[in-house]
Amino acid sequence: MTQVRVGFVGGDTLLDKAIEAVSGSQYADISHAFIYLFDSVLEAEGVKQYSDPYPGVWLHPPDKYDGNTHVKILTVDLPDLAAAQSKARELIGTLYGYTDCIATAAKFLTGTGILTDGEKTMHCSETVTRILRAGGLNVCPDLKADEVSPVLLYEDLKKMGAL
């Protein structure tokens, strides 16, 4: 087993607060998920950053969230790091999944899943979920990866004993 770090962050923007409100969690300040791989922060973002050519799944500097008081980092045991890294490489460059965010919100608000697009687009927690599942960690097993919110991922990892 290899340990990897999974990060969660919130913020003060209207979008952050909307995500947190829809998620209805006891954990405030969680509206985004990311994972540390390849000596970087790997994340899906709806707004391009750094030299990203478009919004999507990209590698960012490993110190991106250093000093951010809203960040929560969990360390998880991953059975197959090579498989997780392979999946991560596949996902880099995938367009951001704005409609995936709607599918996640619909699942929360109605309890019913809607049509999702698989791996054509990615939102943040979907990206991390797919990477962790590829690495042998069955997170949020009752949901499609497209339906996993940052809060659900955080809560499931905590239940699994992540520190």
Domains of the chain: which residue ranges?
2-159
The H or E element containing residue 122 is strand 121-122
pLDDT tens, position by position, for the chain (163 residues)? 899 999 999 866 666 566 666 665 555 678 899 999 999 999 999 999 999 999 999 999 999 999 988 899 999 999 999 999 999 999 999 999 888 777 777 766 666 666 666 789 999 999 999 999 999 999 999 988 988 889 899 999 999 988 8
Per DSSP, helices labelled H in 1-80 are 14-23
Pairwise CA distance, residues 106 & 145, whole Å: 14
Q: 2-159: which CATH number, 3.40.50.880, 3.40.50.300, 3.40.190.10, 3.90.1720.10?
A: 3.90.1720.10
- Tell me the whole-structure pTM to 2 decimals: 0.90
Pairwise CA distance, residues 63 & 41, whole Å: 8
Pairwise CA distance, residues 82 & 104, whole Å: 28
Pairwise CA distance, residues 53 & 73, whole Å: 27
Rg of the chain in Å (alpha carbons)? 14
